[in-house]
Amino acid sequence: RRTTRVHHLAQMKAEGEKWSMLTAYDYSSARIFDDAEIPVLLVGDSAANVVYGYDTTIPVSVDELIPLVRGVVRGAPHALVVADLPFGSYEAGAQQALESSIRFFKEGGAHAVKLEGGERVADQIAALTAAGIPVMAHIGFTPQSVNGLGGFRIQGRGDAADQLIADAIAVAEAGAFAVVMEMVPADLAGQISRKLTIPTVGIGAGNETDAQVLVWQDMAGFTHGKTAKFVKRYADVGGDLRRAAQQYADEVRRGTFPGPEHSY
């Protein structure tokens, strides 16, 4: 089995082969996704929500994310591991983006970084790419800008389509190896995917992108509360885990666990 690297993703686009990406935040889940042959794992700043319990992705820090990257890299020997640059770690400019990304590479062992924004982060993307750090861009709905965008909203509708297209072109020209498009009308995402030579990765962006990404807890039913319309739930890990915990507690209470087969 091959180890996925950035050039394989370009190759898959050229061959019309769609691929998937999942988030991962620890060694154990990364091992499972690597075994499942998911080619790209993202240590998303969505760790803010699903690992640390923050309401938004804004508070999470580089220091909180690096240890997660380390676990994922150890658990996934074949996957390309992409580390999300959190809010506050790249907006100040190319120098800051370089310093943060270098930490994710040297301390975390990441293979690529991801950052949010289109035209406004083209300088950062160009500087990182020049330094040998592959960059995945992220346009459309960008959760770190939730306050500026006025909530969780579909992006690129109507007149805003031109800006989204300009953002996609800008990140590709700056050297990004792929671009995530989040909550974008399917037709527009398809149009951008056909226009760009780099792969597009959709989340709430319809079926015509080159790849798809989901937060693993969302797709596996391990999130609390309601999930977005774009999520498909492939399992009930949360329910299974709750039932397992209840059964374990119950058996301990009744004195039926541990049994002789679990005893020395």
Could you tell me how many residues of this chain bind Na ion (CB under 5 A)? 3
Which residues between 93 and 112 bind ligand KIV (CB under 6 A)? none
17 carries an active-site annotation: no
Closer residue to ligand KIV (CB): 151 or 260: 151
Which residue from 215, 216, 220, 222 is in contact with ligand KIV, where contact means CB under 6 A? 215
Binding mask 42-81 for ligand KIV (x = CB under 6 A): x-xxx-----------------------------------
Among 9, 33, 41, 45, indicate the residue that binds Na ion (CB under 5 A): 45
Q: Are 172 and 179 in contact (CB under 8 A)?
A: yes
Q: Which is nearer to Na ion, 142 or 193 (CB)?
A: 142
Q: Does 23 interact with ligand KIV (rule: CB under 6 A)?
A: yes
Minimal CA–CA distance to 214: which of 69, 19, 11, 13?
19
Residue 34: contacted member of ligand KIV, Na ion, none (CB under 5 to 8 Å, by partner type): none
Distances (CA, A) of 231 to 23, 150, 182: 13, 22, 12
**Residue 84 binds Na ion, judged by CB under 5 A:** yes
- Based on CB atoms, which residue is closest to ligand KIV, 133 or 139? 139
84 labeled binding residue: yes
Residue the block writes with tokens 């591991």: 81
Structure tokens at 37: 């042959």
Q: DSSP class of residue 234? A: -
- Residue facing ligand KIV at closest CB distance: 44
Point out the catalytic residue in the list 15, 99, 119, 182: 182
The token pair at 80 is: 């390309």
Segment 151 to 210, residues that bind ligand KIV, using CB under 6 A: 180, 203
Beta bridge partners of 100: none
> Mind giving me the DSSP string for 126-193?
HHHHHTT--EEEEEES-GGGHHHHTSS---S-TTHHHHHHHHHHHHHHHT-SEEEEES--HHHHHHHH
Distance of CA 3 to the CA centre of its chain: 19
Is 45 annotated as belonging to a binding site? yes
180 contacts which partner out of Na ion, ligand KIV, none, CB within 5 to 8 A by kind? ligand KIV
Using CA atoms, how far residue 89 sits from 144, 153, 193, 209, in Å, is: 11, 24, 28, 28
Q: Which residues are annotated as catalytic? A: 182
Q: List the binding residues for 3-methyl-2-oxobutanoate.
A: 45-46, 84, 114
User: Which residues are near ligand KIV by CB under 6 A?
Assistant: 23, 42, 44-46, 84, 138, 180, 203, 213, 215
Q: List the binding residues for Mg(2+).
A: 45, 84, 116
